[in-house]
Amino acid sequence: MDTRLIDLVYLRVSQINGCAYCLDLHARALIKEGVAGEKLALLQAWREAGELFDVEERAAVAWAESATQVARTGVPDDDFQRAAEVLGEKELVDLTIAIGLMNAYNRLAISFRRPPEAARMAGD
């Protein structure tokens, strides 16, 4: 699976969870990977961003949202079917593991008050 796609999903999961450390980390990674600022700016509103996000990105981000908000969504069968159609079985498994890990990392970084790199640099 493409690292840009994984980092995009990590960024979206971190947006949902409000993890400043991970937002900073993954935004920086995506910038280094050459992702356009417009894509980063519109990730939270990807459904309204037209063709800025390709089919695979839309499927991955939608799946990430559903799986991250499992308590609210219950991860409906329709969400699973749409993601599986686009991503395939192995990619969906890999992506779901990545989403679960990012949710865990978000909880650790938030709980232990891990400051984002940008905030640490501003204090120098």
Cβ neighbors of 120 (< 8 A, separation 6 or more) are none
In this prediction, residues 4-21 reach a mean pLDDT of 97
More confident residue, 114 or 55: 55
- Residue of 32, 23, 42, 24 lying closest to 3 (CA atoms): 32
What is the spatial distance between Cα 40 and Cα 58, in angstroms, rounded to a whole number?
Answer: 14
Give the number of other CB atoms < 10 A from CB of residue 3: 11
Q: Give pLDDT tens digits for 52-108.
A: 999 999 999 999 999 999 999 999 999 999 999 999 999 999 999 999 999 999 999
Residues 20-60 pLDDT 10s? 999 999 999 999 999 999 999 999 999 999 999 999 999 99
